[in-house]
Amino acid sequence: MITMRTNVEPMNIITLGKKIGKVNALVPRRMQWFLYKVALVLSDILMTGVAFRLAYFFRFEVSIGVFDESAVVSIEYYQTLVIFASFLWLLIFASNGLYNSQNLLGGTREYDKIFRSSSVGFLVIVLAGFLQPDLIIARGWLLMAWGFTFMLVSLGRFLLRRSIYILRRHGFFLTPAVIVGANQEGRWLAEQLLSWQTSGLHLVGFVDKKEPVATPLFHNLVCLGSVDQLGEIIKTFNIGEVILASSAISTRDYLLDIFKHYGVSNTVNIRMSSGLYEVITTGLTVNEFAYVPLVYVNKVRLTGSDNLLKLVLDYIATIIGLILLSPLLALIALLVKLSSPGPILHKRRVMGINGKQFHALKFRTMAVDGDEIMDRHPELKEELARSHKLKYDPRVTKFGAFLRKYSLDELPQLFNVLNRDMSLVGPRMISPEEVAMYKQFDMNLLTVHPGITGLWQVSGRSDISYDERVRLDMYYIRNWSIWLDLQLLFQTIPAVIKGRGAY
């Protein structure tokens, strides 16, 4: 199993637990979520109104030159339309689960739902205009209202989410949870949840029949009792989430008994780890054959419309990037040639999708006699074999160090993206020798294209440990969305400019 770092100290778990108890006594969890949903509704109403007003301003009050300036409709007419549209948007948001606790504070998935809901609202108004000729709607106004609505509603929810993250540090919006199973998988789940401080879960301990009660097992988490005592544990600690480590449940009867008692409960959520499926693949499809549901293992992570969206983003952004950066690419190529003898480009053999190997292009940053240089530094050679990265590498040229600091050496990989060997955003590319370091997760890693940038790039680059890189890659693969790609692309720019962790 992969051991991942965590910033949570054992005593913080106890201190936080006391805070949660005081907070829930003052403001019960249901009331906290109710107030948050009220704030969401008010924010959505405000942002939707502002979006429609901005659309009116740019369509009718500012001379842009692309619209028919003679088509002016009174603001009173649009104010009436905005009131109707705001309630329509709220209804669509609600129907798409944007006020459902399960879909809130969930990262880019929430933005995806906002985009889809705004698009549905846009289409409904377009359809109403076709069905009712007396309904006068300027197409430019409607198009801008659609874009502004998505951006402003997303901004409002982003600010509210950040406020919730701050409140969680003080015991608000946290749900006490237990993990059923204190085996290796259960402890790995605990470490993941403890390291993700905005998850909204406060782990109280483990439920396991094999471990002595009250014995500290992991990060000061103790065994609270056996599965037979689960009901009493839930009442005593006001548990809201029960997480089942599937590999720790040896008998089917235990599992069925837990779901029988708590599977339909309004106060407790039952969650099960993916267990073996997490190791085998990152994408599953259930199909019926002769009325028997069978699980099909997808060979790649992204299929259908997801794959098409990522392809379109890669090609559009890469082609635009190559056109804009072509003078810079030519200048860097010239300086590489002048700074040290050797070829301009370096070809690195790396792993691609489904294990297909290819040559990733980079501007050369090392001296051509790098092997001889490393032979004179056996301690660095040993460190390189262990971590596949050196902070102070004697093989790197002065100009090469500059290129690495600002990731300019990776610009030729845009041609790898055009060749469909890579993607703009994805897990970190690795050499064939590094595959073994991903252990059971190597199959997951090779179900998507490696990326020029990714979570590892915006999270510290080479300053983070190798195990942390693996965790970030696995998170990206399991939680991919086009919005996550867009978010990481925007976060890459300040990360590269700062140059932190690049060597």
Domain assignment present for residue 3? The answer is no
Domain assignment present for residue 20? The answer is no
Domain assignment present for residue 403? The answer is yes
The single residue listed with the structure tokens 């009867």 is 253
Both 163 and 65 in a single domain? yes
Domain assignment present for residue 348? The answer is yes
Torsion of CA 38, 40, 43, 44, to 10 degrees: -110
Instruction: Tell me the pTM.
Output: 0.67
Both 238 and 150 in a single domain? no
Both 164 and 183 in a single domain? no
Both 330 and 462 in a single domain? yes
Report the first-to-last Cα separation within the chain, whole angstroms: 28
For 113-127, how does the pLDDT look when each residue is reduced to its tens digit (9 = 90+)? 899 999 998 888 888
- Number of domain units in the chain: 3
Tokens of 255: 């599992």
Both 336 and 442 in a single domain? yes
Both 319 and 468 in a single domain? yes
Domain assignment present for residue 13? The answer is no
Least confident of 195-199, 201-205, 269-273, 401-405: 195-199
Mean pLDDT over 143-149 rounds to 91
Domain assignment present for residue 4? The answer is no
Domain assignment present for residue 12? The answer is no
pLDDT score recorded for residue 304: 74
Residue where a domain stops, chosen among 273, 296, 319: 273
Confidence at 10, pLDDT banded by 50, 70, 90: very low
Residue where a domain stops, chosen among 168, 191, 225: 168
The single residue listed with the structure tokens 């008998």 is 251
Tell which wins on pLDDT, 18 or 218: 218
Both 224 and 155 in a single domain? no
State the CATH number of the domain containing residue 247: 3.40.50.720
In the predicted structure, residue 12 carries a pLDDT above the cut 70: no
In the predicted structure, residue 281 carries a pLDDT above the cut 60: no
In the predicted structure, residue 16 carries a pLDDT above the cut 60: no
Tell which wins on pLDDT, 385 or 2: 385
Both 180 and 122 in a single domain? no
Residue where a domain stops, chosen among 125, 152, 168: 168
282, 478 in Cβ contact below 8 A?
yes
Domain of 214, in residue numbers? 173-273
Short-list 334, 340, 359, 339, CA closest to 348: 359
Both 156 and 218 in a single domain? no
Both 115 and 181 in a single domain? no
Confidence at 390, pLDDT banded by 50, 70, 90: low
